[in-house]
A and B are shown apart, each in its own frame.
Chain A
Amino acid sequence: MPTNILMPALSPTMEQGKIARWMKKEGDPIKSGDILAEIETDKATMEVEAVDEGVLAKILVPDGTDNVAVNTPIGVIAGEGEDASAAAAPAAAAPKSEAPAVPAEAKAPVPAAPAAAPAVVAPDPEIPAGTAMTTMTVREALRDAMAEEMRRDGDVFVMGEEVAEYQGAYKVTQGLLQEFGAKRVVDTPITEHGFAGLAVGAAFAGLRPVLEFMTFNFAMQAIDQIVNSAAKTLYMSGGQMGCPIVFRGPNGAAARVAAQHSQDYTAWYSHVPGLKVVAPYTAADFKGLLKSAIRDPNPVIFLENEILYGQSFEVPQIDDYLVPIGKARIARPGKDVTLVSWSIGVSYALKAAAELEKEGIDAEIIDLRTIRPMDVPAIVESVKKTGRCITIEEGYRQNSVGSEIAARLMEEAFDYLDAPVVRITGKDVPMPYAANLEKLALPNVGEIVQAAKAVLYR
């Protein structure tokens, strides 16, 4: 029986990849362990080894093919004397969800990354009409932001685990070592508490470190230095010191990495005076806000998202494109209900708005972009128009950012609210590993649609 070679998933977030090249030709004998092909994932180029033995009877997807979905048959291995043409090619079926209570939307692949087309978002009103745009991934936008700031200011350096020679655990720092050298792109040992403190000390001395945490889950080891040293020293010194540092890296859930690698820390850091907290969604905002964060004289927590890294957006071709910290963006104008989110939550809100539009509900989406200082006036303005607000985030419900928004609306827009504010959050559980449970634990589009109808009494 011939065996299909399926496009393998080579990272937790990989949904598709490119066949860089086949290392075997049709007709070549295959032994277990042979390198069959090189495949480019969202993070790296990987070699794929044969598991089955026989002859490479047919290459179904040739060299150079892009956007090949995981589990697509890419070749056929035949046993001795077998006819390769007998190989049927259905992809392995994905396990069925057993959870009965999942809303329909939650069963859609999460995240449903667009195959090639950039995500559709409303243009930033501050970008002049007619500005040329480039399509780039969030990953590329972050890299460009760092490179531009490093060219501009010799005191800016990048430090973290695997940022230099490995080119970044998530390829975000790709090429920086080659351009700026080992003095300014510094690989650290695995020592979060130590290197965070070291970088804060360097910032006290006037350098401008951009410190990458491989994920913010690991930054819990370093949180004392972030909060007690970086955030408080300006105040404790009566304004004499300063700590111009950016702590950046992926935050929140990726895909199937379970409780210790999936927590959303947005609310934690947003609690601390002395910190700024930024969590963009679009590539343009990632670029413009990271550049602003690097120039900021204060410690900035810059929260990225692993799933967003590979997503493409339009980025304006403007020299020195800066987005101000502390200013929200209307991602979709509307009049019936205000959806407030940031980071990957905006993608849920956009999908929900599209669903709601079919039912005649016109949702306004505010992409907060900065969590601290929070652009409360932008939310209040929107709620004055809609009278309704739903917040969407992956973090836990108690003391969530949504809780803060609800309180601020009560204080500043109470008379305009026509319904209680609804918080859509991550569920109050450690993130489970099983695919169906993980989906249940995260916010989903169905919950937002349901909440929007509820606050509109429909």
Chain B
Amino acid sequence: MASVQSSARPKAARKSAAESDAAAPFTGSNIAEFTREQELEAYKMMLLIRRFEEKAGQMYGMGLIGGFCHLYIGQEAVVTGVQLASKEGDAVITGYRDHGHMLALGMDAKGVMAELTGRRGGLSKGKGGSMHMFSKEKHFYGGHGIVAAQVPLGTGLAFAHRYRGNDSVSLTYFGDGAANQGQVYESFNMAELWKLPVVYVIENNRYAMGTAVTRASAQTDFSKRGLSFNIPGVQVDGMDVRAVKAAADHAISWCREGNGPFILEMQTYRYRGHSMSDPAKYRTKEEVQKVRDEHDPIEQVRSRILKANMATEDELKKIDAGVRSVVADAAEFATNDPEPDASELWTDILK
């Protein structure tokens, strides 16, 4: 736990994009220069994810959400920064900690929340739950409950892009826990062998459920996990949305240009337990508090915005109010929407 501070950030010195030498290899420490609009967009998106997840946690406590519920609080900068770097047509796939990814893709907060409560207006008609939601329109392929199953699936999405000859990429997210599954390396091998356009985004939040990475991983530098396949990778400060954006820009261009896969290790942290039923006894309250105080992704953007006079406190409060209203509407809908009709039990088994 004492190592949080030292390993929650890449060790290399940080450089702004303007400072970085174009000829030097990309390190993952580059910082994207954000315009006012980008800072505000990132702020709003991350805040939406956080408020949504806080509300989900509350509704779980009230018994409105059942089963497993994995919250994304603390990791907001990862998906927000990567999505700022992607474009229409890029496919996204992730594991079971997926609410933030869907919100970042612009999927309807009401539909997500109603799926969490198992109602007919949920994105999967109440039949998937927290871990299983999809959107063909937004190219979001789930939402997968089996740890690392999304890695070959995401590699297959990249295969389809290549087969069709378009320049879309697959953004395949998984955690530090999933990174130890065999199918990840089977995927790495094929992705590099066939030069498939897939960015593997490893969200290293330092704990696979209750097991710290140091207790589970022989190689804790996940950016090196593709070395034996010649897949390049970098470690990125996943708490700084600008660093995430810069790294994702680089990785996505690499893939679009036909160079094969790229690995981004996003060094991040989840504030809540693994799932709602996890008391998180494997780490101290102080450890969590330290990350919140010193590295919180939302606070970083907020203080930058205020310091650079990009917006006033009042303007940020308006954004906060807008986000709270979206979340309140989602919660209201998800609480009152009826359960699926009993006939839904027997539909959608076969096409």
Query: A residues near B, CB below 8 A?
Result: 157, 183, 188-189, 191, 193-207, 224-225, 228-229, 233-242, 273-274, 276, 297-298
Counting CB contacts under 8 A, is B348 at the interface?
A: yes
In the complex, are the beta carbons of A201 and B183 less than 8 A apart? no
Stretch touching chain A among B128-136, B242-250, B288-296, B307-315 = B128-136
Counting CB contacts under 8 A, is B152 at the interface?
A: yes
Query: B residues near A, CB below 8 A?
Result: 91, 93, 122-128, 132-136, 141-146, 149, 151-157, 159-161, 163, 182-183, 186-187, 189-190, 193, 347-351
CB neighbours of B155 from chain A (8 A): 194, 197-198, 201
In the complex, are the beta carbons of B152 and A193 less than 8 A apart? yes
In the complex, are the beta carbons of A239 and B125 less than 8 A apart? yes
In the complex, are the beta carbons of B149 and A229 less than 8 A apart? yes
> In the complex, which of the residues B93, B142, B155, B186 has the most CB atoms of chain A within 10 Å of its own CB atom?
B186
Known contacts A197-B152, A198-B152: does B132 contact A237 (CB below 8 Å)? yes
Known pairs A198-B156, A274-B349; list 20 more (Cβ under 8 Å).
A189-B189, A193-B186, A194-B152, A197-B155, A201-B153, A203-B156, A224-B149, A225-B149, A225-B152, A229-B144, A233-B134, A236-B128, A236-B143, A237-B134, A237-B142, A237-B348, A240-B124, A240-B134, A241-B134, A273-B349
In the complex, are the beta carbons of A189 and B193 less than 8 A apart? yes
| Cα-based distance from A188 to B186 in the complex (angstroms) | 11
Smallest CB–CB gap between A152 and chain B, Å? 17
In the complex, are the beta carbons of A191 and B186 less than 8 A apart? yes
In the complex, are the beta carbons of A189 and B190 less than 8 A apart? yes
CB neighbours of B161 from chain A (8 A): 205
In the complex, are the beta carbons of A240 and B157 less than 8 A apart? no
In the complex, are the beta carbons of A194 and B135 less than 8 A apart? no
Smallest CB–CB gap between A150 and chain B, Å? 13
Q: Which residue of A lies closest to B123 (CB)?
A: A238
> In the complex, which of the residues A203, A224, A240 has the most CB atoms of chain B within 10 Å of its own CB atom?
A240
In the complex, are the beta carbons of A198 and B348 less than 8 A apart? no
Smallest CB–CB gap between A85 and chain B, Å? 59
Smallest CB–CB gap between A181 and chain B, Å? 12
In the complex, are the beta carbons of B160 and A206 less than 8 A apart? yes
CB neighbours of B142 from chain A (8 A): 233, 236-237, 241
| Cα-based distance from A28 to B144 in the complex (angstroms) | 67
Tell which of B122, B159, B193 touches A238, judged by Cβ atoms closer than 8 Å.
B122
CB pairs A–B below 8 angstroms (16 shown)? A189-B190, A191-B190, A193-B182, A194-B155, A198-B153, A201-B157, A202-B159, A204-B157, A205-B91, A205-B156, A207-B159, A225-B149, A235-B127, A236-B134, A238-B122, A239-B347
Tell which of B122, B127, B145, B156 touches A201, judged by Cβ atoms closer than 8 Å.
B156
In the complex, are the beta carbons of A196 and B163 less than 8 A apart? no
In the complex, are the beta carbons of A202 and B189 less than 8 A apart? no
In the complex, are the beta carbons of B136 and A207 less than 8 A apart? no
In the complex, are the beta carbons of B183 and A193 less than 8 A apart? yes
Smallest CB–CB gap between A189 and chain B, Å? 6
CB neighbours of A189 from chain B (8 A): 186, 189-190, 193
In the complex, are the beta carbons of A188 and B190 less than 8 A apart? yes
In the complex, are the beta carbons of A201 and B141 less than 8 A apart? yes
How many A-B residue contacts, CB cutoff 8 Å?
139
Q: Which residue of B lies closest to A231 (CB)?
A: B349
Smallest CB–CB gap between B345 and chain A, Å? 10
Q: Which residue of B lies closest to A232 (CB)?
A: B132
In the complex, are the beta carbons of B187 and A198 less than 8 A apart? yes
Pick the 4 closest A-B CB pairs, nearest first: A201-B156, A197-B152, A194-B186, A238-B125
In the complex, are the beta carbons of B133 and A197 less than 8 A apart? no
CB neighbours of A234 from chain B (8 A): 348-351
Q: Which residue of B lies closest to A230 (CB)?
A: B153
| Cα-based distance from A406 to B192 in the complex (angstroms) | 50
In the complex, are the beta carbons of A236 and B163 less than 8 A apart? no
Known contacts A234-B351, A274-B350: does B156 contact A197 (CB below 8 Å)? yes
In the complex, are the beta carbons of B187 and A194 less than 8 A apart? yes
CB neighbours of B125 from chain A (8 A): 238-239
Q: Which residue of B lies closest to A204 (CB)?
A: B141
CB neighbours of B189 from chain A (8 A): 189, 191, 194
Known contacts A196-B152, A298-B350: does B163 contact A157 (CB below 8 Å)? yes
> In the complex, which of the residues A235, A238, A298 has the most CB atoms of chain B within 10 Å of its own CB atom?
A238
In the complex, are the beta carbons of A238 and B163 less than 8 A apart? no
In the complex, are the beta carbons of A207 and B160 less than 8 A apart? yes
CB neighbours of A202 from chain B (8 A): 156-157, 159-160, 163
> In the complex, which of the residues A193, A204, A273 has the most CB atoms of chain B within 10 Å of its own CB atom?
A204
CB neighbours of A199 from chain B (8 A): 156
| Cα-based distance from A19 to B233 in the complex (angstroms) | 55
CB neighbours of B123 from chain A (8 A): 238, 240
Known contacts A237-B124, A242-B351, A298-B351: does B152 contact A228 (CB below 8 Å)? no
> In the complex, which of the residues B93, B134, B144 has the most CB atoms of chain A within 10 Å of its own CB atom?
B134
Q: Which residue of A lies closest to B165 (CB)?
A: A183
| Cα-based distance from A207 to B91 in the complex (angstroms) | 14
Tell which of B91, B136, B154 touches A240, judged by Cβ atoms closer than 8 Å.
B136
CB neighbours of B93 from chain A (8 A): 201
Tell which of B91, B153, B193, B347 touches A229, judged by Cβ atoms closer than 8 Å.
B153
| Cα-based distance from A239 to B136 in the complex (angstroms) | 11
Smallest CB–CB gap between A186 and chain B, Å? 8
CB neighbours of B182 from chain A (8 A): 193
CB neighbours of A200 from chain B (8 A): 152-153, 156
| Cα-based distance from A202 to B135 in the complex (angstroms) | 16
| Cα-based distance from A203 to B157 in the complex (angstroms) | 8
In the complex, are the beta carbons of B349 and A197 less than 8 A apart? no
| Cα-based distance from A196 to B127 in the complex (angstroms) | 25
Smallest CB–CB gap between A270 and chain B, Å? 14
